[in-house]
């Protein structure tokens, strides 16, 4: 399957980076190279570091950006500090992280991300070299563990019913395909409670994907590492696709902006916490109506940008 993916908020994200021709920029989730190629158009003597833990994505990115001044790294963006140390780079001028799942991953049945692909294996690994699959989660986690992750990561109010029915179904036979799991979920969610236009399995599949790829753990640490790696006036741009991720980014950026975090009754500051800069826009940047119409998967995207002082 050919790697195809529409980069969300492409113009807005690259514009927000305020790219310098001789700067150093990091695309932490390079994917097919959409944001990366746009940055490269603005670089002359500068350098781009393209990171992705999906080997298929990185392969497509190499093909697209062949011969350009790019360093390719197969790794998790949460290792940003180690990656820059290994490359001998201290500070950079801009960092992008798109925390969403690519269209290629969703649309490729072999990857097992989509509830629309009945015969697809329950996989959901962004990095094919890791061991944990979605099938391992649904077939080995306890009912309580399944309920918690579906509720917490999927924000699914019928998590208890879904978890109970998953455990009952797997007693008959292991759940190994997306279709098997969708059938269980559809039996667990009352028809009258299904949101118009929203598939009943959407939230559970989101929860499993987050669990398999350990998506939320380490985002705050990555953001702190990233902002400390920025040069003065450097920018960190982060695109999120659901409230769990966006909440982490928003809270971290607010913390980066704050000068002193001592209790208000303290006579003087003892915390040594100092502001690292400011958020570019108080409200997140969202896709235009035209982009949402052209690419429905962009509808939930939010872009937040932090500027280092």
Domain residue extents for the chain? 10-99+216-308, 112-213
Distances (CA, A) of 30 to 58, 98, 216, 226, 251: 7, 8, 19, 16, 25
Residue 189: how many CA atoms within 13 Å on its side-chain side? Answer: 22
Distances (CA, A) of 291 to 28, 185, 288: 23, 31, 5
The region that residue 33 occupies, defined by phi over 0 for left and psi between -120 and 50 for alpha, beta otherwise, is left
Q: Could you please state the CATH topology (level 3) that the domain comprising 10-99+216-308 is classified under.
A: Rossmann fold (3.40.50)
Distance CA 244, CA 132 (A): 22
Please tell me the least confidently modeled range out of 55-59, 97-101, 102-106, 201-205: 102-106
pLDDT at 67: 67
Q: Could you please state the CATH topology (level 3) that the domain comprising 112-213 is classified under.
A: DNA polymerase; domain 1 (1.10.150)
Distance CA 122, CA 260 (A): 47
Per-residue pLDDT at 1 exceeds 70 = no
Mean of pLDDT values over 118-130: 90
Q: How confident is the model at residue 103 (pLDDT cuts 50, 70, 90)?
A: low
Distances (CA, A) of 238 to 130, 235, 302: 25, 10, 8
Residue range 270-288, pLDDT digits in tens? 888 889 999 999 999 999 9
Q: Which helix (H) or strand (E) holds 63?
A: helix 55-64
Dihedral pair phi/psi, residue 304, rounded to 5°: -120, 140
* Mean pLDDT, rounded, of the chain: 92
Distance CA 283, CA 264 (A): 27
Per-residue pLDDT at 76 exceeds 60 = yes
Supply angle C-alpha 96, 15, 2, rounded to 5: 55
């Amino acid at each position: 399957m050919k790697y195809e993916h529409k980069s969300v908020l492409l113009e807005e994200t690259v514009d927000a980076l305020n790219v310098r021709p001789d700067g150093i920029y990091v695309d932490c989730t390079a994917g097919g190279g959409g944001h990366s190629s746009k940055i490269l158009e603005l670089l002359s003597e500068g350098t781009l570091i393209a990171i992705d833990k999906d080997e298929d994505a990185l392969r497509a990115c190499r093909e697209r950006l062949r011969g350009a001044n790019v360093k390719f790294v197969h790794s998790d963006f949460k290792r940003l500090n180690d990656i820059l140390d290994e490359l001998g780079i201290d500070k950079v001028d801009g960092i992008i992280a798109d925390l969403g799942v690519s269209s290629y991953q969703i649309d490729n049945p072999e990857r097992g991300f989509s509830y629309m692909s009945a015969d697809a294996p329950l996989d959901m690994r962004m990095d094919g070299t890791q061991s944990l699959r979605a099938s391992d989660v649904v077939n080995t986690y306890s009912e309580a563990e399944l309920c918690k992750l579906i509720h917490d990561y999927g924000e699914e109010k019928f998590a208890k019913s879904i978890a109970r029915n998953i455990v009952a179904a797997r007693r008959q036979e292991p759940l190994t395909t997306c279709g098997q799991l969708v059938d269980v979920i559809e039996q667990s969610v009352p028809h009258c409670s299904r949101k118009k236009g929203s598939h009943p399995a959407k939230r559970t599949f989101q929860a499993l994907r987050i669990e398999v790829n350990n998506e939320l753990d380490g985002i705050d640490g990555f953001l702190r590492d990233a902002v400390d790696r920025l040069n003065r006036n450097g920018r960190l741009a982060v695109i999120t696709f659901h409230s769990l991720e966006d909440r982490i980014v928003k809270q971290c950026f607010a913390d980066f902006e704050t000068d002193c975090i001592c209790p208000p009754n303290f006579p003087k500051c003892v915390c040594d916490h100092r502001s690292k800069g400011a958020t570019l826009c108080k409200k997140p940047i969202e896709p235009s109506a035209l982009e949402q119409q052209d690419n429905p998967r962009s509808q939930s995207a939010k872009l937040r940008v932090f500027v280092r002082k």
